Amino acid sequence: MKVKHFTLLLIINLLAAIVTAQDIDSLLDSQMNTSTDYTTATFKSTRIMNGHSIERMPTGQLDFRICHRFGRLNSGAYNLWGLDEANMHLSFEYGITNWVMAGIGRGTYEKAFDGFLKFSILRQSTGAINMPVSVSYFTSLYVNTLKWLNPERTNYFSSRLSYVHQILLARKFSESLSLQVSPTFIHRNLVASELDPNDLYSIGLGGRIKLSHHISLNAEYFYVIHPPRYSPSIKTYNPLAIGVDIETGGHVFQLMFTNSLAMTEKGFIGETTGSWLKRDIHFGFNLSRVFMLK
């Protein structure tokens, strides 16, 4: 055999060996699942409607959020079916790292300031890490700044405070369907009367159905678990919100109908005085504008 024939044969054998090795490596990689595919866009916003979703702002991104709730639709034409009245909540929400988000806000309901932290604990994924759900932890501090009803007595700043703790557990079942469960605990340092409990427990249920590339139908309901001998000074109802998400580039626009006037957990869970059956329904919206800071 001539040298050039031998060299050509050797090159052909080496190329065949390399291709075969690559095929084996690809097969092994596919069998070993060495990569992890994380689920994204379970919800399009950090809120489902009133309540938080498992989503958070990415690192270095700031969300400026404007929320409005108008008056009750059943207030009639004189009040322009509630549009003459408006309650607002403004907030700034920032992604500190890839697993924690912080926010501060101010609302007209009880002239309250609030601050929160949201931690991503688990992320739904497939591959090397197979996780069927996403889990986040949410906690907030709420400060009521209304003037004291009885300024003559001794009033404490701690009486203005309320605390919220939530576990947010969600799963994206398909590109069209996402569901979330939100066990919630609320502690209010001061309540209206001895009949009202300081501690409230609730289970929230929320979901999203994708209607098109930029529009989804969202719904959210919180069931308040009443303690034994529960007898509040004011009749309250479980909050229900139904609406749509509209994604427009850097904005997410949420339109909704809800029986809740407040836009923070302390307010709409346990203090909702409107009833859907009595048509005590508020039209409202959330407007989110995201800025890339770094």
Residues 136-159 have pLDDT tens digits of 999 999 999 999 988 888 899 999
61 vs 10, more confident: 61
* pLDDT(28) > 70: no
* pLDDT(20) > 80: no
* pLDDT(10) > 80: no
Q: What is the pLDDT of residues 196-248, one digit of tens each?
A: 889 999 999 999 999 998 999 999 999 999 876 676 788 899 999 999 999 88
> What are the CA-CA distances from residue 168 to residues 9, 10, 217, 231 (Å)?
63, 61, 20, 29
Average pLDDT score, the chain: 88
Task: State the DSSP code for 148.
Answer: P
Identify the H or E element spanning 266: helix 265-268
Q: CA-to-CA distance for 185 and 265, rounded, in angstroms?
A: 10
Q: CA-to-CA distance for 127 and 19, rounded, in angstroms?
A: 25
Q: CA-to-CA distance for 217 and 219, rounded, in angstroms?
A: 7
* pLDDT(182) > 80: yes
> What are the CA-CA distances from residue 125 to residues 17, 207, 270 (Å)?
35, 19, 35
What pLDDT is stored for residue 32 in this prediction? 57
Instruction: Tell me the pTM.
Output: 0.85
